[in-house]
């Protein structure tokens, strides 16, 4: 039976040899790798600061509002320009956004359930914020590229 809640740990060769020789345990390797998840630290930092949380929520809301407004005008602008690579790129980007939304939603749900089952209910909000930031980047990065192009 496939266990979707298990986690594999990657380790370097020196860590592997230290573990093999008994100099390091798997729990020490896990503890060292816990520091690698900087997005979770960033999300926790935002969530601990009430003022910063409010700023991020407002910024996300404004960004989503602007993106929704630009998406309605994007099809008209692309057809007016008539550039084939832009049309293809926008179609591919639309597919990435469509499928990315559902993939991120499923993975976020699985990770949240895993966290809840393990008793780490405090991590659920940081997990959701992490996946929201990833999903936001699908919209924000192309928009920033377009803003840079328009400014020059």
32: which DSSP letter? H
Res 2: pLDDT: 42
- Residues 63, 55: Cα–Cα separation, whole Å: 12
Res 35: pLDDT: 56
Residue 130: count other Cβ atoms within 10 Å of its Cβ: 20
Res 82: pLDDT: 57
The least confident of 7-11, 64-68, 118-122 is 7-11
Percentage of residues in the chain having pLDDT higher than 70? 76
pLDDT exceeds cutoff 70 at 46 = yes
For 62-114, write each residue's pLDDT tens digit.
777 776 665 555 555 545 555 677 777 888 888 888 888 888 888 898 888 88
pLDDT-derived band of residue 132, with 50, 70 and 90 as boundaries? very high
Helix, strand, coil tally for the chain in percent (to 5): 80, 0, 20
Res 122: pLDDT: 84
């Amino acid at each position: 039976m496939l266990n979707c809640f298990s986690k594999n740990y990657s380790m370097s060769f020196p860590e592997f040899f230290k573990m093999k020789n008994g100099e390091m345990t798997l729990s020490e390797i896990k503890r060292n790798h816990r520091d690698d998840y900087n997005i979770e630290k960033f999300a926790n930092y935002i969530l601990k600061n009430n003022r910063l949380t409010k700023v991020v929520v407002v910024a996300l809301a404004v960004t989503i509002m602007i993106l929704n407004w630009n998406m309605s005008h994007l099809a008209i602008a692309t057809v007016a320009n008539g550039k084939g690579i832009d049309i293809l790129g926008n179609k591919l980007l639309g597919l990435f956004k469509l499928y990315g939304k559902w993939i991120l939603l499923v993975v976020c749900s699985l990770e949240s359930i895993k966290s809840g089952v393990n008793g780490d209910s405090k991590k659920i909000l940081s997990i959701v914020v992490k996946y929201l930031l990833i999903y936001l980047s699908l919209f924000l990065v192309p928009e920033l590229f377009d803003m840079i192009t328009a400014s020059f």
